Chain A
Amino acid sequence: MRLAGSLAFALTVLFGTAAQAQNPINVKLGVLNDMSSLYADISGPGSVVAAKMAVQDFNPAAHNMKVEIISADHQNKPDVGSNIARQWFDVDHVDAIVDVPTSSVALAVADVTREKNKVFLISGAASSDLTGPKCSPNSVHWTYDTWMLANGTGKALVQTGGDTWFFITADYAFGHALERDTAAVVTANGGKIVGSVNVPLNNSDFSSFLLQAQQSHAKIIGLANAGGDTINSIKQGAEFGITAGGQHFAGLLVFISDVQALGLKTAQGLVLTSTWYWDMNDTNRAWTKRWQAERPGKFPTMVAAGVYSSILHYLKAVAAVGSAADGKAVVDKMKEMPTDDPLFGKGQVRVDGTVTHPAYLFEVKSPAESKYPGDDFKLRATIPADEAFRPLKDDNCPLVSAAAK
């Protein structure tokens, strides 16, 4: 018996190294977002579905990899978010955190990720600071940012005569970044900012703020908010006769889920910028159909699409590096390899972590123009990839200056 035991031990020692090479590369992804509150339809469970689809399409077994996905609700609170991130990295051995809407939470998670040398694939968060002054060698910002939104919607509206602006701003990192970036675009194009008001996140009544906006006589009321806040602003704006009085809303960040919640009757004519729309082409439609198998009756946002594509590119990079352990090495690989996926097409991950791809200026259809559920947007303009995102020289990202040296 003892002989058999030591024989087995000897064999293990002998062939142990060989067996190790056969072991698959384990990757654990954590989808961290708002599962239950105002941003849950933008990201939430829809992002988890997209993540699962990415893993399925990557086919880990073919690359000798094993990928696992977990998810959690950060309740839009930075402290909750960074606590979960720490626990995921330290206890649950998560290699990459994905999505994370709510910029304040994303900024906190970016710091934790950098400290632990893991990877942060940002899709839901918007603040352009994530690739600007607060950029990190461990982050990749996939889908959109506040600079891009401002550049798309802001520029288009100023150029068509909307030259005086009043901002209704969500009072946290994202709202402030969006207001700052839009104001810069407006003034650069000859427009003027006549006022702004900071509104606490998740506010339900906007009539006070709408009244202030009305009294400012600005031609454009810029909504530097998102999700439920945007919905309530526009819905109540219609009631207070904002559009009837000749003023217009600029929804600086509007998702298809918001348009669905408003109804086309209220939302029609709204101009918005997005990097992905489910009904743009056959590939997107086919992808949406698969997604809808898990989320019947709903439509994927650009955030869900970004989660899908960023995971796909990340897994390719892990396969190329051969391990997910060193987060910075994986992100470097992601920057080295050009991006190419079914949803966002060809592009690249820049040194600051921004992923470049085209952006689209859409207008919300009227009820008469909409032929089927989800037929909500019509394309007004395409902004090419090299113009859609902030030029590297304006980034103030330490990584950019370091790379230049």
Chain B
Amino acid sequence: MVEIFGIPSYALFGQLLIGLINGSFYALLSLGLAVIFGMLNIINFTHGAQYMMGAFAAYLMLEYLGLDYWVALVIVPFLIAATGIVIERLFLQHIRKLDHLYGLILTFGLALIIEGLFRNAYGSSGKPYQVPELLQGGRNLGFMFLPNYRAWVIAFSLVVCFATWFAIERTRLGSYLRAATENPTLVRAFGINVPRMVTLTYGFGVGLAALAGVMAAPIYNVSPQMGSDLIIVVFAVVVIGGMGSILGAIITGFALGVIEGLTKVFFPEASSTVIFVIMAIVLLIRPAGLFGRTV
């Protein structure tokens, strides 16, 4: 058997694939953050809580309305996006012109409040959520057992990531958006309702977080702190990729998932810190991030 650094090659392939799967969650979440930062200039610390709300909404819909995973996958992002729009209208629009710190503290506070409310209502150990029937089981790839659900996660998130990138970088609507971040006054002069566009963009970013939440519900423990466990890592991903860079967020999301996966084989004790080590190195060498534009 071929061995790489003392690890059988088939084991390594398995770990690489798992890294990609985890990376797809990082990519989806950091994509939402990047969109929000790029368009609104808001560092959205509520993102983790919104991801958690997505997972809980899926659980609640199944428990109380009998609506299954597939329905949740379609409805929940819109539902949570609507709550995001309310937040944007009530709070964020008033502080957009202030320093980043204000937005950061506001969204961080909101995240704490939302998490606390959920913990109060549902406890900290979380709620059960099963893998949808259609995707139960898995297949033996020879080098590893791949659960069908994980295969679905990776495929679906790739599609979503690409679609988002395409919409922002390659369509007319996307060009309005990018123009509005560069020079809102001028774009308004062309008769485009910039504030509404910004509100909808925030809703879209939040919807992405909720979508990731629904996708996470069958595999991670649906608990109030599931978002805060992940959000710090995701922020590191965004910083490494370059704040506000769409493509950067996607690529670094997947890449860091793989790096973290490999760390889990070679030095598992460091798997929770490796991303931050990389972040520190990247910040030293390229302060704007790997894909960020220097201002």
Contacts and interface: CB of A to CB of B under 8 A. Distances in A.
B18 A44 contact: no
Given A211-B11, A211-B144, A239-B147, A41 B124 contact: yes
B223 A261 contact: yes
Interface in A246-305: 257-258, 260-263, 265-266, 298
Interface in A15-47: 36-42, 44
- Most chain B CB inside 10 Å of its own CB: which residue of A171, A204, A227: A204
Interface string B4-26: 00001001001100110110000
Interface string B115-135: 010010001111110110000
Interface string B138-154: 10000011010110000
B123 A298 contact: yes
Nearest to A205: B22
Interface string A185-227: 0000000000001111011110111011011000000000001
B: interface residue count bin: 35 or more
A254 B124 CA distance: 15
Contacts of A171: 268-269
A296 to B, nearest CB: 11
Contacts of B130: 263, 265-266
Contact of B268 (A37, A199, A260, A266): A199
A353 interface: no
A214 B145 contact: yes
B221 A231 contact: yes
Interface magnitude class on chain A = 35 or more
Nearest to B228: A37
A391 interface: no
Nearest to B8: A215
A333 interface: no
B219 interface: yes
Nearest to A301: B125
B3 interface: no
Nearest to A197: B268
Given A198-B268, A232-B220, A204 B229 contact: yes
Please indicate which of the listed interface residues B18, B144, B147, B264 has the most CB atoms of chain A within 10 Å of its own CB.
B264
Interface in A320-343: none
Interface string B161-178: 000000000000000000
Nearest to B271: A200
Given A197-B268, A232-B221, A212 B128 contact: no
Given A207-B18, A214-B145, A232-B221, A38 B123 contact: no
B218 to A, nearest CB: 8
A227 B125 contact: yes
B265 interface: yes
A258 B125 contact: yes
A345 interface: no
A207 B144 CA distance: 11
A208 B225 CA distance: 21
Nearest to B14: A211
A236 interface: yes
A212 B229 contact: no
Contacts of B19: 208
A236 B145 CA distance: 12
A241 B147 contact: yes
A228 interface: yes
A240 B124 contact: no
Contacts of B218: 239
Contact of B119 (A40, A209, A212): A40
For A40, A205, A241, A298, the residue with the greatest tally of chain B CB atoms inside 10 Å of its CB is A205
A39 to B, nearest CB: 8
A208 B265 contact: yes
A253 to B, nearest CB: 13
A189 B14 CA distance: 34
Contacts of A266: 128, 130
Interface string A356-372: 00000000000000000
Contact of A36 (B124, B147, B219, B230): B124
A227 B264 CA distance: 21
A181 B262 CA distance: 29
B274 to A, nearest CB: 10
B125 A240 contact: no
B219 A257 contact: no
Interface string B271-287: 11100000000000000
B292 interface: no
B205 interface: no
Given A207-B18, A227-B125, 10 more contacts: A204-B220, A204-B230, A232-B221, A240-B145, A240-B147, A241-B145, A261-B127, A265-B128, A265-B130, A266-B130
Interface of B: 8, 11, 14-15, 18-19, 21-22, 116, 119, 123-128, 130-131, 137-138, 144-145, 147, 149-150, 218-221, 223, 225-226, 229-230, 261, 264-265, 268-269, 271-273
7 contacts: A38-B225, A40-B124, A198-B268, A231-B126, A260-B125, A261-B128, A263-B130
